[in-house]
Chains A and B, each alone.
Chain A
Amino acid sequence: DTGVSQNPRHKITKRGQNVTFRCDPISEHNRLYWYRQTLGQGPEFLTYFQNEAQLEKSRLLSDRFSAERPKGSFSTLEIQRTEQGDSAMYLCASSLVPDRNYGYTFGSGTRLTVV
């Protein structure tokens, strides 16, 4: 397994357009997390799934954001009607619960720039 994979690595979009990011977790991991990180700040939690169930959503996840994890494997994060404030690094992570020995494994992120 090569770890958590995120695509695309970079995305530039015009304000008002919709974008979708994909995350492929480590195959045996049952939990998948989405975080957002802006310049100079630590990652901020957005949402997480256990298998296909979305267990928690942050208030940061406005109604323009939607995340899915069909069949408990890969996940997608969609942002509709993008705004300049959505420009950030979007990070995905996965973990195996209840095995906490190795913590989360993060992907390298998708950097979104809204122009």
Chain B
Amino acid sequence: DAKTTQPPSMDCAEGRAANLPCNHSTISGNEYVYWYRQIHSQGPQYIIHGLKNNETNEMASLIITEDRKSSTLILPHATLRDTAVYYCIVAGGTSYGKLTFGQGTILTVHP
């Protein structure tokens, strides 16, 4: 699996957009970008994934650069409950197997 690089921590004010970056410069053509988050003492929660087009769901938006070497997860209106560790993962194939988690980004949303 390709490796990803994320900042160790970020802060965001409640109600503002949280933009979490991820570098994945060695991503290959059939690999997807996945985002998960983990709130303290819980298992990771799937957020969103994409291949090369931008994606949006009820939780977040995913912006992938044209060269696919980096991406940004956007939480449009962060709340205190969005405080968590956010993991950016690259995995591929038509039926992906294991996900390799890195250290992630600790996002702290302040009142």
Contacts and interface: CB of A to CB of B under 8 A. Distances in A.
Nearest to B49: A103
Which bracket fits the contact residues of A? 20 to 34
Which bracket fits the contact residues of B? 20 to 34
Contacts of B46: 102-105
Interface of B: 32, 34, 36, 41-46, 49, 85, 87, 94-104
27 contacts: A41-B103, A42-B85, A42-B87, A42-B103, A42-B104, A45-B100, A48-B97, A56-B97, A56-B98, A91-B43, A91-B44, A97-B96, A98-B95, A100-B49, A100-B96, A102-B46, A103-B34, A103-B46, A103-B49, A104-B44, A104-B46, A104-B99, A105-B46, A106-B44, A106-B45, A108-B41, A109-B43
B108 to A, nearest CB: 16
Contacts, number: 53
